[in-house]
């Protein structure tokens, strides 16, 4: 029906239909423009008298030569693209091609290329521009203290580490709820704790302590602001520290099951080995002094070390070997 | 002892620098030539004849130094995410060159593995269950790790980087600041004798 080429000129026509049983006539009138698309450009201002009398159009300017022709090779590019702007093919003197190639051909030219406009370009961030920006930003920067060049030195002077996150993204909202969390890490060896305080601190803290690295991690993200979460984390650290130094009355009821690590003194193992040795050497006589003498013997000490190591560190090749040697020595096997 | 004194002197020297509004205006206009509108830096437009004379004069005087001690950041990790790997390549070049120019120590630049989220949907709005269409969304990552940077420098660098973040790219910054043990934790409040501990 409609022709693809623009050479055809439709004429004004009228078509009439008649329905069966009805004497209605529908008239359809088609209109056409006398000017087709690919006509040679006419002189301006004169509408075609054959057409419907279009109003005079604005005179059409010819596009001049692109700016790239006038660009010198040593121009200041930072003034051509000072800020982030879309790609302008007439301002970029590069023969860029982008897009899926036509069959048997090459990717399309840069002129009128939507792919080049869609993709973010970095023409405003050439190395020269970056250097200029950094020169202007340098007065606001401060230097890192040269005495803190290695990590161990930093950890020694500044043991408390505060970790926080910031997010930058585009979307309906610029806020990110994960940005208010604060994580405080500290090595317990840098705190002033004695034996009892350290054990109590470990019990209070539970899973937040990592035995391998000796790091206590407190994560605070229940408050709405990051500053509040930071204050809460510091408050928790303070409270934990002071509470662990306190000794309550009920702490005296600590049983063997509450102990963090195995203690050989007053354990069934000690009782057993002492009774065994007493029965083996009946001639030395019974009594407290005899037991103490036995305890001070070197092989009994070795036995104590091996049993403690087995219980605390678990079973392994070397610990079992050590236990075997100690038992053989004690029993003179 | 001498090392301690040197360290203490340097800590006193690390004061926070604040940005003066007039200098920001200066910075912004020094990049503007002609009639380019800057959407990112919110400034009032000044005519181009004005900035050349005032740029150099007010740079040195507009930097204010406050008494507040500067924060020390042991590590700053910048993770950039985008759908286009080429854009992230260019951004990484920009970020590392900027860090080099500002004297920032970039310890590591790596490319974590990309994530592909795939979904299989029905092709037709009604019935035809056997005919589906599959879409996928690829997210590429780039990780830049900076170590031993002061709070002021980090603020300047991050603001510069973030203002020039391209469209369609997201960033996540993880800062690890280091601080001294607070004064109230140095000594315990309670006397460590079980006889006379104060009641809670």
Tell me the pLDDT tens digit for each residue of A213-230.
999 999 999 999 999 999
Residue A223 CB-density burial (10 A; 0-12 exposed, 13-18 middle, 19+ buried): middle
The answer to whether B94 contacts chain A (CB < 8 Å) is yes
B172/A286: higher pLDDT: B172
Least confident of A11-20, A108-117, A152-161: A11-20
Whole-number Å distance between alpha carbons of B138 and A164: 27
- Output DSSP code: residue A174: S
A58/A180: higher pLDDT: A180
In sequence order, the β-bridge partners of residue B197 are: none
Whether ipTM > 0.90 holds is no
- Residues contacting residue B148 through CB under 8 Å, at least 6 positions apart: A144, A148, A149, A154, B73, B74, B105
- In this predicted structure, the answer to whether residue B143 has a pLDDT above a threshold of 50 is yes
Closest Cα to residue A325, out of A314, A313, A305?
A: A305
Q: Which of residues 276 through 315 in chain A touch B, CB cutoff 8 A?
A: none
- In this predicted structure, the answer to whether residue A36 has a pLDDT above a threshold of 60 is no
Q: What is the number of helices (H) and of strands (E) in chain A? A: 10, 6
- In this predicted structure, the answer to whether residue B110 has a pLDDT above a threshold of 90 is yes
> For tokens 């043990």, what's the residue?
B181
Q: How far is CA A109 from CA A93, A103, A114, B65, in A?
A: 13, 15, 10, 53
Tokens of A196: 């009892």
Residues of A in contact with B34 (CB under 8 A): 79, 82
pLDDT of residue B32: 35
Q: What is the CATH number of domain A151-250?
A: 3.30.160.20
* Residue A44 banded pLDDT, cuts 50, 70, 90: low
What length does chain A have? 333
Whole-number Å distance between alpha carbons of A166 and A273: 61
CB within 8 Å: B173 and A168: yes
CA B196 to chain centre: 52
Give the nearest chain B residue to A191 (CA atoms).
B186
Sign of CA dihedral A192, A197, A198, A204: negative
CA A176 to chain centre: 13
Question: Best-predicted range by mean pLDDT among A221-230, A242-251, A274-283, B64-73?
Answer: A221-230
pLDDT of residue A34: 54
The answer to whether A96 contacts chain B (CB < 8 Å) is no
pLDDT of residue B56: 45
When the candidates are 3.30.70.600, 1.10.540.10, 3.30.420.270, 3.40.50.300, the CATH number that belongs to B72-114+141-177 is 3.30.70.600
CA distance B189 to chain A (A): 6
Q: What ranges do the domains of chain A cover?
A: 70-141, 151-250, 259-331
Tokens of A39: 């006509």
Residue pair B174/A163 in contact (Cβ under 8 Å)? The answer is: yes
B1/A77: higher pLDDT: A77
Can you list the alpha helix ranges (DSSP code H) found in A220-283?
A: 226-245, 268-280
Q: Among partner residues A131, A136, A237, which is closest to B30 by beta-carbon distance?
A: A136
CA distance B24 to chain A (A): 10
Give the nearest chain A residue to B2 (CA atoms).
A147
Give the nearest chain B residue to A250 (CA atoms).
B194
The answer to whether A169 contacts chain B (CB < 8 Å) is yes
Phi and psi for B141 in degrees, rounded to 5?
Answer: -125, 155
CB within 8 Å: B103 and A136: no
Tokens of A332: 């003179």
The answer to whether B148 contacts chain A (CB < 8 Å) is yes
Q: What ranges do the domains of chain B cover?
A: 72-114+141-177
The mean pLDDT value for A68-72 works out to 88
Helix (H, G, I), strand (E, B) or coil at B76: strand
Q: What is the full DSSP assignment across B46-71?
A: --HHHHHHHHHHHHHHT-EEEEEEPP
Give the nearest chain A residue to B176 (CA atoms).
A163
> For tokens 């994530």, what's the residue?
B115
pLDDT of residue A48: 54
């Amino acid at each position: 029906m409609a022709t693809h080429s623009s050479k055809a000129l439709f004429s004004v026509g009228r078509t009439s239909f008649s329905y069966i049983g009805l004497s209605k006539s529908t008239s359809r009138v088609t209109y056409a423009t006398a000017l087709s698309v690919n006509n040679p450009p006419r002189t301006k201002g004169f509408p075609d008298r054959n057409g419907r009398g279009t109003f005079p159009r604005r005179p059409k300017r010819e596009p001049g030569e692109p700016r790239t022709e006038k660009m010198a090779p040593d121009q200041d590019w930072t003034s051509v693209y000072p800020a982030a702007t879309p790609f302008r093919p007439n301002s970029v003197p590069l023969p860029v091609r982008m897009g899926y190639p036509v069959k048997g051909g090459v990717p399309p030219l840069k002129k009128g290329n939507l792919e080049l406009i869609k993709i973010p370009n970095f023409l405003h961030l050439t190395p020269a521009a970056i250097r200029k920006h950094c020169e202007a930003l340098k007065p606001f920067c401060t230097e890192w203290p040269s005495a803190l060049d290695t990590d161990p030195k930093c950890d020694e002077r500044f043991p408390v580490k505060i970790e926080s996150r910031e997010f930058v993204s585009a979307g309906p909202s610029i806020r990110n709820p994960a940005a208010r969390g604060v994580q405080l890490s500290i090595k317990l060896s840098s705190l002033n704790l004695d034996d009892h305080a350290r054990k109590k601190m470990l019990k209070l803290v539970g899973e937040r302590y990592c035995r391998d690295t000796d790091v206590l991690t407190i994560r605070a993200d229940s408050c709405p602001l990051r500053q509040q979460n930071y204050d809460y984390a510091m408050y928790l650290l303070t409270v934990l520290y002071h509470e662990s130094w306190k000794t309550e009355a009920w702490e005296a009821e600590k049983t063997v099951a509450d102990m963090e690590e195995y203690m050989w003194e007053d354990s069934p193992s000690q009782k057993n080995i002492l009774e065994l040795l007493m029965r083996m050497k009946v001639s030395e006589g019974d009594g407290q002094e005899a037991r103490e003498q036995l305890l001070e013997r070197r092989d009994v000490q070795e036995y104590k070390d091996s049993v403690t190591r087995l219980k605390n560190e678990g079973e392994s090749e070397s610990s079992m070997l050590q236990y075997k040697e100690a038992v053989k020595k004690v029993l003179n096997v | 002892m001498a090392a301690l004194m040197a360290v203490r002197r340097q800590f006193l020297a690390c004061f926070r620098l604040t940005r003066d509004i007039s200098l920001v205006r200066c910075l912004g206009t020094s990049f503007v030539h002609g009639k380019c509108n800057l959407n990112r830096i919110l400034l009032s437009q000044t005519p181009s004849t004005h900035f050349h004379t005032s740029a150099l004069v007010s740079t040195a005087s507009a930097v204010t130094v406050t008494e507040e001690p500067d924060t020390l950041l042991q590590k700053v990790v910048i993770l950039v995410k985008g759908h286009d790997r080429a854009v992230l390549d260019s951004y990484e070049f920009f970020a590392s060159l900027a860090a080099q120019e500002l004297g920032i120590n970039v310890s590591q630049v790596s490319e974590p593995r990309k994530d592909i989220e795939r979904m299989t949907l029905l092709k037709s709005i009604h019935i035809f269950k056997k005919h589906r269409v599959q879409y996928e969304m690829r997210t590429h990552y780039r990780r830049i790790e900076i170590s031993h940077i002061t709070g002021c420098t980090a603020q300047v660098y991050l603001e510069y980087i973030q203002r020039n973040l391209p469209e369609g790219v997201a960033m996540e910054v993880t800062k690890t600041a280091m601080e001294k043990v607070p004064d109230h934790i140095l000594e315990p409040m309670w006397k460590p004798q079980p006889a006379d501990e104060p009641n809670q």
